[in-house]
Structure 1
Amino acid sequence: MILHELLGYDTLRIIWWLLMGIVLIGFALTDGFDLGAGMLLPFAGRTDLERRVVINSVGPVWEGNQVWLILGGGAIFAAWPQLYAVSFSGFYLAMFVILTAIILRPVAFKFRSKREDPRWRTRWDWVLFYCGLVPSLICGVAIGNAIQGVPFRLEPDMQIHYEGSFFGLLNPFALLCGLVSVAMLVMHGAAWLVFKTEGAVQARAGKYGTIAALATVALYALAGVLLLLYVTGYRVTSTVDPLGPSNPLIKTATAHAGAWFGNYSAHPWTLIAPVLGFAGALLATVALLGRRGGLALLGSALGIAGIILSVGASMFPFILPSSLDPHASLIVWDSSSSHLTLFIMLVTTCIFLPIVLAYTGWVYKVLWGKVDSDAIRDESGHAY
């Protein structure tokens, strides 16, 4: 109880805002290379054996990597219930499309090599491509819509009214953010393949990964320019009590062009995030050209972390702004669970997250090394 009293409500809200960002980065860094490898599968592998090399580079770990996705959904549900309610209802159809990919991916992994028919295997290879492309694209589109504001409003009793549509989510800026997401995850998947494979697969992965890394830099820069010049941001115009109740309607907020760059002016140290995004992608470019897998993975990981962090740094304290009624926007200080709930969740996280990280590290240590095509040829090796 002493610790509960020491950790104030305002502190816990910041901690859980940071943890939400960490979970997003963790998902992008782990499951991200799975998705990227899936998008590269039809191109990095030309023969059936080469494609099996690509699949088996991620086959033993992809299921464990999806723990971050489950963790993220659970954390949002428990720590930010209003965010969960608005986003999971407003983006329902988009999330259903992602769900089809999540369902199809294990089926494709398991069924792909059940028959020798080349056409059968090729179809499943393109299913894996779909299962990598769709979540990557739609997650980026969702972030792009969150940056622009989502068309929802709240009644005085906190009833949510979402007035958007699925195709309304597919606006130009959101699609650009989707392309940034696709490019950076292809870059990350290519770095993983350069790290885990050899020969022709490694060479092709390095080639396509270099293109993806350069595209990440270009698209990220373009998104930044559009964000500064054309995309409307949001500002809180009233005094907000960090210890106040979770009621978004007790504040006032307005839309302002270029408002998302205000935090960089007020707190110059936050520029570390976009600089890291550019620097990491450029480091990955150089490493991929030289087929230095470990350095490429480090560069792509830093680039992805920087890009995600730059979104949080730009939008703080907003979590999900409302384009329909800016006063109803969800911010860090008015959309969280109770003080006690956040504290209990933090204690639980401090206990179980190190266990998950330790187990994950052990798994990667056991599976360390290159994927051997000779072992894949041996059907007794239990390879995909």
Structure 2
Amino acid sequence: MKKFFFIIWGDPKFYQTLIFLSQKIASENSKIYILSRNLDHKKNIIKKVNFGNNVTILKCPKIITRFSNFFEYLFFLFFVGFQFLLKKPTSVIFFNKKALYTVLLLNILNFKSSFIYHNFDFDLIKNVDGIREKIQVRFEFFCSRFCKNIIFPSRERAKIFKIISRNKKSQFFYFLNCFPKKFQTKNNIKFLKFLKEKKLINKNIVCHLGSIGPNHYLEEIVESFNYLNNKIILIIGGNSIDNYAHYLKRKIKKNNLGKKIFILEDVSNDYWFEILRRSKMGLCFYKQISISHKFMAGTSQKFNNYVCFNKPMIVNNNQDFKEFKKFHDIFDIVKKNTSKEIALSINKLLQNKKRFIQIKKNMKKAFLDDLNFEKQFENSYKKFL
């Protein structure tokens, strides 16, 4: 039986591709150990997650809680090394750069293990602030050379990383953050109760799910509802970054939009999927502040949530979405990333039933043919595992 290490300096429950990958590999007569940072002191938003059969979660012991993140990470490094010596995995998959840094130690302890780097998010050195952050990016480039295979959530990000890192040793692949074809969720009636209590049951629900932060045009989206009728409501659901949800709530109150816009923070997975199920359409907007935000078409988790649940979407105007649309006509693009244009796009799509139905048909076909986990696995991991 093959043994796999999934290493992540974070909470694996927040990464849907990691979850589906664990389920898939575990189903093929393999044992998986997920080595993660111990975040039990944080809010447990997502609750239970099924990582598959024959999967063990190994959280780094929380012994040095009063010390800085540096010492916590140093202990994590020794924890990973100890588990590596003890279990001698066949393959090791590092998720994101903080996990990748452990490759230097594991390379010294190597038992002919195969090293794989799966990156969800990276940026150019010029785009990061501070000397320490710039050093970390350079260190990521260096450490990547110890991995035989490297996977990115978009083809464009893989190309850029390969050029800038000058890594000629590794093979590069891309793996869009898609859902499995037969993905299922549990029923949740909490959102239905919320709609009934607020007398919103007959409204057209537009949703924006994901991080509630300053780089998703959320100010413009909120202001756009000044131009929309009372039959349309907005649900903003997700995890607030630096208390940004509080800032938006003040803005909603100032604009007298309290009966049209609702912010739901820290929702569980089941609640999240129930919002998706009952929504009419989704919004997927990213300000062009980084490499990751410039290349989100087919990659964004909220994007793939909408695809899986067959919800037509409106996206921001950028070149990546325009290029993607040539192959998959599954969304409308705003002309300009302004509140008035967002409102016009929402109205237009809701009123044009022919276009709305066509998007749903196109989306269903795209999901079954290409934008699904099975297809992405076939194009990457299946080729080298």
TM-score, length basis structure 2: 0.22
More contact order relative to length (CA 8 Å, sep ≥ 6):
1
TM-score (norm 1): 0.22
Higher-helix-fraction structure:
1
